[in-house]
Each structure stands twice: as structure tokens, then as C-alpha cells.
């Protein structure tokens, strides 16, 4: 393999020393200017001196072992359609990862490739649920979950989360199981279960998953489990429990979608995986449109997947999780004492959920728009995540420490200036 060109202006992309200490030092050194030069969607959407903290994309590069695999493929000219032996390796690696790391005994035969999680959701709604049946989406929710059902002539039933005081008085978001059960009883054909939960960052617990499984079995409702953030469990005391691994979860009614795209920052490489067993697997493979999705998975994404799930790739991911967790604590400490601001930092994912309902903003003003204009920080608007969340914003934590510190300073400064003007 030819040597990679050095990028002295972008220390996260290429470092000879990939120890946790060296990686953290490189990430600490990142600047907004370097990110803009990188040219990603995240950093080019908003021109000028704006800190990009909106779309779910990391600023921390990817694991060296993943980068090396991609360089080898380019050097070798492996850029065509998916070879059968590579597809088999990916399926085996994904199955082994779930068995060995997540405690779910997955057979490689249960794994199908596809370009991304949303293509799987489209197919499940269109071809693997009762025609015309509504789709249940607990909110706040990843934005496409709210719009995709309508593309298939289905009603989207938003079920707002229950909000209670958790540890240290901070918000704890839970599924409204009673409302979900009522929607299933009324004929809903599908529940979209985001686990870990984007944008509130919750890792659902076994009892919650069991309750969902019992409702699914009782009403014959399919569950689509989006577990793309399962590789981003930040709290060392927490663990990801795959929904389909629960004894009560019916294999005939369960589709699980996952990918390494978030945990290793390769969403543009287009290789996600759908895991389905028994009746769900047979239905998926028998349906021509669903089966053909495997043909759309990318070779580079497949290579990235196997490299990410290697020992070296998993070690890099552990370093990322510790780093992002520290960023979350920085944001919590920086904003906790600001009157009118509520902070939910994630247990799983790199996405914080900020409540600005206590701020005295002008009527009708979107907090995301206001902070973009007043602070130069681009966050995702809460209204996009479901009805009733207009006062919220989603903040991406997967950036360098210096950038995160600047983000907190800008948010605090904008609030202080507004209160100074009001006083």
C-alpha cells in the first residue's frame, strides 16, 4: 500500500500514534477553521464563523484501521460491485460482534446488507406491515421517522415521551407504554423503536424492552429497532441490550437495523445491516424489493465495517466514547447553572438534548434560529423532532474539546447578552 499523504492541518485524520492519549491530544487541537477546510456537509451548511453542531456526524475522523482498509481498496482498485466473499465476511463479522459483545446469539444467515437504515425502514413499512396501517413513532424522534410513513400512504402516530425527574433532578425520558399499547390495539402495524434513543440519548432497559415485546406479541405489531447508535454507549455503567435478544421479542415481528456509520464516522460509505430471524427473515428475502437492497450496499462500507469491528477498531471506538462523554460533562457543567436551560446529556449516542423553554425569547422565535444568529452555533431545531418540542435543540457533542468549550461559551454569552438588553 502506498503511504498516505500527511495532513498537518487536520490532526484528527492521520496520526502515527493512535494511543488514547495521542488521539485525545489530536482531537483537543481541532479548530473550527480546520473543520471548514475539511468540507463536510456539517461544516459547510452555514457560512461564516459558525460552529457546526447539528447533523449527526463526528469531527473526530475514523479509526486508523478503517482508514487503512479504505486506502488498500483504492490502491488495489477494489471499487466495483460487492464480491460475494466480502458480503459473507461482513455478515459474519456483524453476527460475531452481536454474539460476543452484545450477548445476542445472531446467526450470520440472519444478517442482510443494505445501503442504510432508512432504506430498511422504507421497505419494512411498504412490504412487511399491514397495508395502510399506521406507524407509531415515539417522540422526540429522528426526523425522517416522522416523514417516511406518509411516503407510503401511512399515518404517523406520534407518541410523546414521558418526562420525569431522574438522577440529580435532570430529565429522564421514557416510552409512554400505555399510549403505545393503545395505538397498537387501534390497528397500528409498526412501532419504530430508536434504541439508543436519538435525540434524548437514552439506552432503553430490559424491562422497557420486555414491555414493548409483550405489546407487540399481543397485537401482532411489527417492531423496527433502529440500533445504529449501539456502538456509542458513553456511560461505563450502561450496556446496550438488543431489543430482539429479549426472550419475549417475537422473531416473526422484529427487524433490527444497525451500522458502524455513527460509531466510526463513515455514514457516506453506505453499508448498513438488517438482522431478522425466522418469519421476518423469510419474508425479507422472499420480497424482491427488500432482497435487492443488498445489491446497493457499498464495497468501501463493507470493508469499513469489518475493520471497525476488529480489535483495533473497537479499541479506537472506546477512546471516542470516553472523549465524547467528557464533552457531554463539559456541556452539562457549562449550562446546568444557566437559568432557563435544561440539559439532557446522552447515555448512548453523541447527541445532547437542550431545553430552552425557560428562556424569555420572543414569541414564535425558534431557539435554533436564535442561537445561530446570536451565538453563531448551528444546532438542530427541536420542532423537527416532533410536535411539542419547539423549545428544544439537539447539540452534537462529537467534536474537539476546544470547539466544545467555544460552543458553551457562545451559548452562555448569547443568553447573558439577551438578558442584559432586557434588563
Judge contact between 218 and 81, C-beta under 8 A.
Answer: no
pTM to 2 decimal places = 0.94
Confidence grade of residue 10 (pLDDT, cut at 50, 70, 90): low
CB atoms within 10 A of CB 14: 16
pLDDT at position 167 is 67
pLDDT tens, residue by residue, 57-90: 999 999 999 999 999 999 999 999 999 999 999 9
The pLDDT value given to residue 91: 98
Segments making up each domain of the chain, as ranges: 20-60+322-422, 71-311
Choose which CATH entry (3.20.20.70, 3.90.1150.10, 3.30.465.10, 2.40.50.100) describes domain 20-60+322-422. Answer: 3.90.1150.10
| pLDDT digit string, tens, across residues 326-364 | 999 999 999 998 999 999 999 999 999 999 999 999 888
Averaged over 395-422, what is the pLDDT? 95
Give the pLDDT mean for 29-44: 96
How high is the pLDDT of residue 423?
Answer: 65
pLDDT reported for residue 47: 93
User: Is the pLDDT assigned to residue 11 strictly greater than 60?
Assistant: no
DSSP H helical segments within 103-156, as ranges? 117-127, 143-151
What does the pLDDT look like over 164-219, one tens digit per residue?
877 666 788 999 999 999 999 999 999 999 999 999 999 999 999 999 999 999 99
How far apart are the C-alpha atoms of 7 and 20, rounded to whole Å? 20
Look over the chain and give the mean of its residue pLDDT values, rounded to a whole number: 94
Alpha carbon distances (Å) from 366 to 287, 370, 388, 390 = 43, 6, 12, 7
Q: Which fold has domain 71-311?
A: 3.40.640
Amino acid at each position: 500500500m502506498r503511504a498516505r499523504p500527511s495532513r498537518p492541518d487536520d490532526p484528527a485524520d492521520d496520526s502515527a500514534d493512535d494511543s488514547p492519549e495521542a488521539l485525545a491530544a489530536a482531537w483537543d487541537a481541532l479548530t473550527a477553521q480546520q473543520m471548514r477546510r475539511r468540507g463536510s456537509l456539517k461544516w459547510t451548511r452555514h457560512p461564516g464563523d459558525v460552529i457546526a453542531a447539528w447533523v449527526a456526524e463526528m469531527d473526530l475522523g475514523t479509526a486508523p484501521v478503517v482508514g487503512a482498509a479504505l486506502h488498500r481498496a483504492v490502491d488495489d482498485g477494489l471499487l466495483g460491485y460487492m464480491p460475494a466473499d466480502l458480503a459473507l465476511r461482513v455478515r459474519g463479522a456483524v453476527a460475531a460482534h452481536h454474539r460476543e459483545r452484545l450477548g445476542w446469539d445472531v446467526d450470520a444467515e440472519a444478517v442482510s446488507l443494505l445501503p442504510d437504515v432508512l432504506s430498511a425502514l422504507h421497505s419494512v413499512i411498504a412490504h412487511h406491515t399491514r397495508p395502510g396501517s399506521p406507524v407509531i413513532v415515539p417522540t422526540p424522534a429522528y426526523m425522517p421517522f416522522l416523514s417516511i410513513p406518509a411516503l407510503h400512504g401511512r399515518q404517523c402516530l406520534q407518541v410523546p415521551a414521558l418526562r420525569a425527574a431522574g438522577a440529580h433532578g435532570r430529565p429522564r425520558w421514557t416510552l409512554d407504554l400505555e399510549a403505545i399499547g393503545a395505538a397498537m390495539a387501534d390497528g397500528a402495524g409498526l412501532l419504530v423503536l430508536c434504541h439508543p434513543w436519538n435525540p434524548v440519548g437514552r439506552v432503553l432497559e430490559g424491562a422497557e424492552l420486555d414491555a414493548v415485546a409483550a405489546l407487540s406479541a399481543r397485537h401482532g405489531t411489527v417492531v423496527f429497532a433502529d440500533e445504529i447508535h449501539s456502538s456509542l454507549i458513553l456511560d461505563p455503567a450502561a450496556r446496550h441490550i438488543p431489543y430482539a435478544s429479549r426472550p419475549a421479542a417475537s422473531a416473526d415481528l422484529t427487524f433490527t437495523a444497525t451500522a458502524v456509520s455513527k460509531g466510526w464516522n463513515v455514514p457516506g460509505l453506505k453499508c448498513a445491516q438488517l438482522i431478522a430471524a425466522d418469519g421476518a427473515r423469510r419474508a425479507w428475502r422472499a420480497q424482491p424489493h427488500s432482497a435487492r437492497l443488498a445489491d446497493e450496499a457499498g464495497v468501501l462500507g463493507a470493508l469499513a465495517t469489518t475493520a471497525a469491528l476488529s480489535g483495533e477498531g473497537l479499541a479506537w471506538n472506546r477512546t471516542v466514547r470516553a472523549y465524547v462523554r467528557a464533552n457531554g460533562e463539559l456541556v452539562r457543567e457549562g449550562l446546568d447553572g444557566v437559568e432557563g436551560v435544561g440539559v439532557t446529556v446522552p447515555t448512548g449516542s453523541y447527541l445532547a438534548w437542550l431545553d430552552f423553554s425557560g428562556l424569555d425569547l420572543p414569541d414564535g422565535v425558534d431557539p435554533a434560529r436564535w442561537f445561530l444568529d446570536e451565538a453563531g452555533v448551528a444546532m438542530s431545531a427541536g420542532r423537527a423532532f416532533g410536535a411539542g418540542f419547539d423549545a428544544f435543540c439537539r447539540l452534537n457533542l462529537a467534536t474537539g474539546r476546544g470547539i466544545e468549550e467555544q460552543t458553551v461559551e457562545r451559548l452562555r454569552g448569547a443568553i447573558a447578552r439577551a438578558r442584559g438588553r432586557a434588563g
